[in-house]
Structure 1
Amino acid sequence: MRITQGCFSFLPDLDDEQINAQVEYCLEQEWAIGIEYTDDPHPRNNYWEMWGHPMFDLRDAKGVMMELEECRAAKPDHYIRINAFDNTRGWETVRMSFIVNRPAVEPKLDLARFDRHGRTQTYGLRAGR
C-alpha cells in the first residue's frame, strides 16, 4: 500500500531535481523549511521526529538538500517529509508538506470492523498482513 499524505502523494515519487525545485519555490515565498521523519506512517500520527532545527533563515535550496541527504543516510528505511512553514501573521501554519523518502517496503494497513455491545459496529485501522 502506498502511503498518501501531503502534496504530490498521488504522483510518482519526486526525484531530487523536482524536490529542489519545490524547495526553491518555498524559499521564494519566504517559508521556513523543516525536515521530519517517522517509521509510523499511520494517518493519525501527527508527531513525526524533526531532523535538526527548522531552517528559518535559509535562502538557498542547496542547504535543505544537504540536510535531506544526511537524513536519508541516517534513516534510509523511514518516511521523510519536507514541511514549508509560513510565519506570516494571520497564516502561521504549514503551507506545503510532501514526502521525499519512503522505505523499500511500505507497511500495510487494513480497515477492520469490530462488533461491540448489542448491534454496534465500529471501524479502525490495524497492521496488515
Structure 2
Amino acid sequence: MRITQGCFSFLPDLDDAQITAQVQYMLDRGWAVSVEYTDDPHPRNTYWEMWGHPMFDLRDAKGAMIELDDCRKAHPDSYIRMMAFDSTRGFETVMMSFIVNRPAAEPRLHMTRTDFESRSQKYGWDARI
C-alpha cells in the first residue's frame, strides 16, 4: 500500500530537481518552509516531528534541500514531508505539503473476516510490513 497524503501523492515519487522546483515555488510566494518526519503516517497523525526550525527567511531552495538531505541521513527509513506555511493572516496556515521520502517497505493493512453467530460476520484489520 502506498501512503497518499498531500500534494502529488498519487504521482511517482519526485526526484530532487522536482522537489527543488516545488520548494522554490513555495518560497516565491513568501511561504515558510519546514521539513517534518514520522514513522506513523496515519492520516489523523497531523503532528509529525519537525526537523530543525521552520525556514521563515529562506529565499533559495538550496537551503531547504540541505535540511532535507540531513533529515534523510538521520531518518532514512521514515516518512519525510516538506510543508509550506503562510503567516500573512497572523496565524500559520498550511498551504502545501508533500512526501519526499518513504521507507523501503511501507506498512500494509490486512483485513480478516470471522464468521459469527446467526450468519453474522465481524471484520478486523491488522498492520503488516
Q: Answer yes or no: same fold by TM over 0.5.
A: yes
Do the aligned partners of residues 124 and 84 (structure 1) sit closer, same or farther apart at CA in structure 2, a change above 3 Å counting? farther
Do the aligned partners of residues 46 and 112 (structure 1) sit closer, same or farther apart at CA in structure 2, a change above 3 Å counting? farther
Deviation at 1:22, TM superposition (A): 0.2
User: What's 1:58 paired with?
Assistant: 58
Q: What letter is aligned with 1:43?
A: P
CA offsets per residue over residues 2-36 of structure 1, 9 Å max, x none? 00000000000000000000000000000000100
Alignment TM-score, normalising by the size of structure 1? 0.86
> Partners in 2 of 1:108 and 1:44 — Cα distance?
17
User: What's 1:109 paired with?
Assistant: 109
Alignment TM-score, normalising by the size of structure 2? 0.86
User: What's 2:33 paired with?
Assistant: 33
The percent of aligned pairs where both chains have the same amino acid is 72
> Partners in 1 of 2:90 and 2:125 — Cα distance?
35
User: What's 2:93 paired with?
Assistant: 93
1:75 aligns with 2:75: yes
Q: Which runs of 5+ in 2 are unaligned?
A: 115-120
CA offsets per residue over residues 75-127 of structure 1, 9 Å max, x none? 0000000000011117731000000000000011245689xxxxxx9977541
User: What's 2:117 paired with?
Assistant: none
Tell me the secondary structure at the aligned position of residue 65 of structure 2.
helix
Deviation at 1:128, TM superposition (A): 3.2
Q: What letter is aligned with 2:20?
A: N
> Partners in 2 of 1:42 and 1:78 — Cα distance?
13
Q: Which runs of 5+ in 1 are unaligned?
A: 115-120
Which of the pair has more CA radius of gyration? 2
> Partners in 1 of 2:122 and 2:89 — Cα distance?
41
Do the aligned partners of residues 127 and 64 (structure 1) sit closer, same or farther apart at CA in structure 2, a change above 3 Å counting? same
Q: Stretches of 4+ moved more than 4 A in 1?
A: 111-114, 121-125
